[in-house]
Amino acid sequence: MYRMLYIKTMNNKTYKLYRIGIAFFVAAMMSIAVSLDNTWLAVSSVVIGMIFMAVVRSKTRRIVDEREVMVRQKSAQMTYAIFAPTVGLGSLLLMLIADESNYFLEAMGIVLSYLTLFQIALFSIFLVFYNRKYGGHGEE
Amino acid sequence: MADMAKNKLKVLRATHQMTQEELASRLGVSRQTVIAIENNKYNPSLELAFKMSRLFQLTIEEIFTYEEDENEEA
């Protein structure tokens, strides 16, 4: 499960360099698009950047090992622990401060609270799924 | 703080005249993982520990030592 995922030639350093290059290209194109007020240029630069990124990624010999998996798990866990209560409480606050003059705040609060509920529901579903997958439901 | 198993990976690597890169590729992990294990910042999985023991032809106990913190029980 934790084997390296080799994908052809390029190593990690070259991949990072290419990634920085693509990011600079997209940023430059975006700034030009903004200064020219050209939406199509902005959209096409983002799409081109995404295509380049996909090509570069497909040519990279990337290593995803158990430590990286653990790092990702911990980051996801921390993101959830911070994001869910922040957005949940934020949505509650928005609904409380909303009145007739700024009714859109209530709508935003409702949207955010549904988003939080969706996130919690997803988390719970995956929690049950992985708990079952890794033997958490077995009998003695 | 969580207990960390100590290991002799750095010493073993030196005795076998291996670079971190070589060891990493033979174990099938990244060089960063080898560095993290050598510095006792990351405890490898059982699977990786077995790979190490086979590579160096030693038992897992000869590579890793684990001492529980006595203060933790109190």
Q: What is the ipTM of this complex?
A: 0.79
Question: Where residue A5 falls among pLDDT bands split at 50, 70, 90?
Answer: very low
Q: How confident is the model at residue B33 (pLDDT cuts 50, 70, 90)?
A: very high
CB-CB under 8 Å, A2 with B48: yes
Of A2, A63, A68, the CB nearest to B45: A2
Asked whether residue B70 is domain-assigned, the answer is: no
Beta-sheet strands, E only, within A20-130: none
* CB < 8 Å to A60, chain B: none
Q: Say if B13 falls within a structural domain.
A: yes
Structural domain boundaries enclosing B20: 6-62
In the structure encoding, which two tokens stand for residue B16, read together?
Answer: 């076998």
Assess whether pLDDT exceeds 70 at residue B71. Answer: no
pLDDT in tens, A81-135: 999 999 999 999 999 998 888 888 999 999 999 999 999 999 999 999 999 998 8
In a domain, B32, yes or no: yes
> For residue A93, how far is the Cα from the chain centroid?
25
The SS3 assignment for A68 reads: helix
Contacts of B30 (CB under 8 A, 6+ apart): A4, A63, A65, A67, A68, B24
Q: Check CB contact under 8 Å for B30 and A63.
A: yes
Residue B72 within a domain: no
CATH code assigned at B11: 1.10.260.40
Instruction: Tell me how far apart the alpha carbons of residues A64 and A5 are, in angstroms, rounded to a whole number.
Output: 6
Instruction: Report yes or no on B73 lying in a domain.
Output: no
Question: How many angstroms separate the Cα of A14 from the Cα of each of A18, A58, A59, A61, A125?
Answer: 6, 13, 10, 10, 39
How many domains is chain B partitioned into structurally?
1
One-letter amino acid for residue B12 of the chain = L
Q: Which residue of A has its CA nearest to B49?
A: A66
Residue of A nearest to B32 (CA): A67
In a domain, B1, yes or no: no
Q: Are A17 and A63 in contact (CB under 8 A)?
A: no
Task: Note whether residue B71 is domain-resident.
Answer: no
Please give the model's pTM, rounded to 2 decimal places.
0.67
- Measure the CA–CA gap between B52 and B12, rounded to whole angstroms: 10
pLDDT surpassing 90 at residue B13? yes
Tell whether B46 is covered by a domain. yes
Nearest CA in chain A to B51: A3
